[in-house]
Amino acid sequence: MPDHSPSGTDTSRTGPLSHLTVLDLSRILAGPWTTQILADLGARVIKIESTSGDDTRRWGPPFLHNEAEQPSDAAYFTCCNRNKESVCVDFSNPEGAELIRTLARSADILVENFKVDGLKKYGLEYASLHKMNPRLVYCSITGFGQTGPYSARAGYDFLIQGMGGLMSITGQPETAEQPAEPLKTGVAIADEFTGMYAATSILAAIAHRDRTGEGQHIDCALFDCQVAMLANQGSNWLVGKRTPRPMGNNHPNLVPYRAYPVQDGHVIIACGNDRQFQALCDVLELSTIGTDPQFQTNANRVANRDQLESILEDRLSHYSRDQIIKALEAASVPCGPINTIPDVFDDPQVAAREMVVPMTRSDGSDIPTVAYPAKFSATPATYRSAPPRLGDHTRALLEHDLNLDARTIEALVQAGVVA
């Protein structure tokens, strides 16, 4: 069962990564998404923040409310900062930079998302830290990578979705009356996939280090990850030289595979093979369509898409959503509703899979968070501490990890080096 213990300094980490310590110098989403994955799997993650904190603490409304009903951090911040210690250090100050270097001497992983060479002036770039700790796995997350003509540019998810081709294939198809409007996805998908690629790459580098004793630098770019995630659309162009276009809810390679209007809304039908299509036709009492040579194979259905879709739309308009879903599920035809976000979190499957993790942090804020999705039979993800208040763990770390006495800590506070 998941561990839903309250906020506080983590002293009982378990999980497959419980032997690892991560210095998290990242902000916003891609980097924190990376480090939350590592943290959920047991790693100790020390989130280094400036005295003003991660920008997403202010990306609201909505905002959290603590026991005194005072607004605090934005909900956005809570989506990717669970299981971390917040330590405020101004490393633009030489004393602050030295504190980070001291922590890096014994760290296993460092994640940062500053501009290329942005940490060099503080002596916190890979080359400097590698000399001190050759076992360090150092992951740099940027918009466009450490090389190439765009390497100096800042990169935000929205920009990357556009430049990486995703927005050219998202949205309603263009018509003579209505030009296609480019659309981004409803979440920052380029950031999130970059975080997943970064976490996977870090674990691969740790496996290499375990065999050789050598750390390394990982150059992870949002743009590269978005290009990689074009998947079949990228392959369709590379192989067929046909420019993918927005198709609404249609699939470029499968028919029928879209959302259909029914009497009381829409239903998704996703036929991935000929057997499923035949079963759909049987449910809809369209057996002659199922045996028609124009539609018997997926390639033929793609070629005759408009004709087939017109027939299916007409027949499905006679059903309610729940009626057709029940009939198609009984026939093993993949189908489902289009849920709102409240619908999702009310879904019994979400409850059964324990996908909502309630947490409470040190200021009394109740923070529902979304669980790590994979289920491990032996080393499950744990939920040890809520997304922290700014600087929640600064003093404890300075005292216990760096062995600083109270007078030295107070001097650092008064000098604005830590908070």
CA 308 to chain centre: 37
Which residue's structure tokens are 């599920």?
329
Q: What's the rounded Cα separation, in Å, for the pair 129 and 120?
A: 10
- β-strand partners of 261: 266
* Residue spans of alpha helices (H) in 149-304: 157-163, 189-212, 222-228, 231-240, 274-283, 287-291, 298-303
189-212 vs 30-40: helix axis angle to the nearest 10? 50
Helix (H, G, I), strand (E, B) or coil at 329: helix
Which residue's structure tokens are 């991560």?
22
Which residue's structure tokens are 């990578």?
145
- β-strand partners of 259: 268
Which listed residue (40, 191, 224, 392) is catalytic? 191
Cα Rg of the chain, angstroms: 25
Edge-first strand listing for the sheet containing 137-142: 84-88, 44-49, 21-25, 109-112, 137-142, 216-221
* Residues present in the chain in total: 419
Whether residue 160 contacts residue 190, with contact meaning beta carbons closer than 8 Å, is answered with: yes
- Encoded tokens for 204: 């691969």
347: annotated active-site residue: no
- Encoded tokens for 46: 């020390």
DSSP state of 61: S
- Encoded tokens for 370: 């979304």
Active-site amino acid positions: 191
